[in-house]
Amino acid sequence: MNFREAETLVKETLDCIKNHKMELQQGCVACHVIFSLKQSSGRSEQDAADLLSEILTHDPKLNSEFIEVVEQIHMKERNMGGAFAMRERESKDSYLEAYFSNVLDELASDLHFGTHHMILRKLLLSYLALYLAQTIGVDYHAATEEMYYLLRKDDAKNSKIAHLIARFEEKVKKTDSGIS
């Protein structure tokens, strides 16, 4: 699958989601588009996610349409937090414990296979997405997509993140060497 074919698939998938021709079954818009790319192209999930990001960065109009569909589904048509609130305490605890363990396992894997720079960026982006979710009152998936939309739209934001990580790393080096 070449770039144009992938771009067409993204547009068609978004159109189907937006017009409810495709049922997400409480799934995430972005995840569904990524999985559609993965399945159609035979790429890994990470490669499909990277391809989606490249497509959306390349086409600002499609990037805007993408975030509009995310907002339509995640913000206007759903209230995913409401479903969690309706659960019994035991079910909530089980859900929280499972996802807590998943996050720690993922970070442990990142420590083994990734660089400290990658882990710092991941943690910073997660914090930013969480902050957006809390302040604008949306679910985490929607906030993450809003943040990625902004990062694709304005590369200066990525530079600011890189600068902050570099400052953090410098501070750690100074602390490790005994300089305050």
Query: pLDDT tens across 2-11, in order?
Result: 999 999 999 9
For residue 128, pLDDT over 60 is answered with yes
Query: Last residue of some domain: 78, 100, 128?
Result: 78
Question: Are residues 62 and 3 part of one domain?
Answer: yes
Task: Give me the chain's average pLDDT, please.
Answer: 87
Same domain, yes or no: 72 and 23: yes
Q: What is the DSSP code string of the chain?
A: --HHHHHHHHHHHHHHHHTTSS--TT--HHHHHHHHHHHHH---HHHHHHHHHHHHHH-HHHHHHHHHHHIIIIIII--HHHHHHTS-HHHHHHHHHHHHHHHHHHHHHHHHHS-HHHHHHHHHHHHHHHHHHHHHT--HHHHHHHHHHHHHH-HHHHHHHHHHHHHHHHHHHHHHTT--
The total number of structural domains that make up the chain = 2
Average pLDDT over residues 150-171: 91
Q: Residue 84 domain-assigned?
A: no
Q: Examine the pLDDT at 80 and tell me if it is beyond 60.
A: no
- pLDDT of 147 above 70: yes
Q: Which residues of 15-31 are buried (b: 16+ CB within 10 A; e: fewer)?
A: eebeeeeeebeeebbbe
The pTM of the whole model exceeds 0.75:
no
What pLDDT score was predicted for residue 134?
80
When pLDDT is cut at 50, 70 and 90, the band that residue 24 belongs to is: confident
Among candidate residues 139, 140, 141, 162, the one with its CA nearest the CA of residue 151: 162
Spatial distance between the Cα atoms of 121 and 157, rounded to a whole number of angstroms:
13
- Single residue among 51, 78, 105 that ends a domain in this structure: 78
pLDDT of residue 11: 96
Domain that residue 141 falls in = 114-180
Q: Label residue 178 by pLDDT band (50, 70, 90).
A: confident
Confidence of residue 127 (pLDDT cuts 50, 70, 90): very high
pLDDT at 124 over 70: yes
Domain end, chosen from 28, 55, 78, is at 78
**124 and 65 both lie in a single domain:** no
Q: Is residue 29 part of a domain?
A: yes
Q: How confident is the model at residue 84 (pLDDT cuts 50, 70, 90)?
A: low
- Grade residue 180 by pLDDT with cuts at 50, 70 and 90: low
Residue 155: the pLDDT is 87
**Would 90 be classed as within a structural domain?**
no
Under the banding of pLDDT at 50, 70 and 90, the label for residue 58 is very high
pLDDT at site 12: 96
